[in-house]
Structure 1
């Protein structure tokens, strides 16, 4: 149940952020739900592999390279999903940072 609530919150965040951030568009709520699911799957399976292989760079940048990895996840979502478009790397970076902060704030209110 908790997973469904988090996916729905992420879906709502994707729709809202696409309305306010330039360079990010989402066609429908269904597309936003697919984006939320694909992001969850990418963060579960692909992100740990990328973090492992980029660990030296991440340590040298004091963790800031993780923002680049998050932006790459958004760009992979853009590539995989029709109806979700991110114009540039900078748009993906801003979108990923704002989405992460909003998810963190909302997850404070969703209890396990």
Structure 2
């Protein structure tokens, strides 16, 4: 259940990011859903490996390099999806990574279960 929610949140966040940036385009809702699924898979498998390999650079930049990793993963997903998901450049990908991180944080705060 948690994995499905994660995919749906990724789909929503990618769609909202596509509305914010002109260089970040998703063809339709199905493309957003596929990109959300790919983002969940890449975040679960590839991202931890990249974070571990670039840990010295991440520590040196006080964590800012994580946005570069996230932007590179977004570019990878756009490349895999072809024309259904287009990012104009690496600068747009970095800005989109920042917006996606902010939106994910806001959504996780809203959907956080209340413990009594």
Please give the TM-score of this superposition, normalised by the length of structure 1: 0.92
Report how far residue 75 of structure 1 moved. 0.5
Which consecutive unaligned segments of at least 5 residues does structure 2 have? Answer: none
Contact 1:86-1:92 at 8 Å conserved across structures:
yes
Which consecutive unaligned segments of at least 5 residues does structure 1 have? Answer: none
* Post-superposition CA distance 1:39-94 (Å, at most 9, x none): 11111111111111111111111111111101111011111113000000010011
Contact 1:78-1:86 at 8 Å conserved across structures:
yes
Mean CA deviation greater in 27-36 or 9-18: 9-18
* Post-superposition CA distance 1:13-49 (Å, at most 9, x none): 2122212212111001000001111111111111111
Pair 1:92-2:88 in alignment? no
Contact 2:6-2:40 at 8 Å conserved across structures:
no
Mean CA deviation greater in 89-98 or 102-111: 102-111
Pair 1:7-2:13 in alignment? no
Please give the TM-score of this superposition, normalised by the length of structure 2: 0.89
More helix by share: 2
Give, in whole Å, the separation in 2 of the partners of 1:15 and 1:65: 24
Q: CA RMSD in A?
A: 1.3
Contact 1:13-1:102 at 8 Å conserved across structures:
yes
Q: Report matched runs for 1:24-35 at 5 Å.
A: 24-35=24-35
Contact 1:17-1:95 at 8 Å conserved across structures:
yes
Give, in whole Å, the separation in 2 of the partners of 1:108 and 1:3: 17
Runs of 4+ in 1 over 3 A off after TM superposition: none
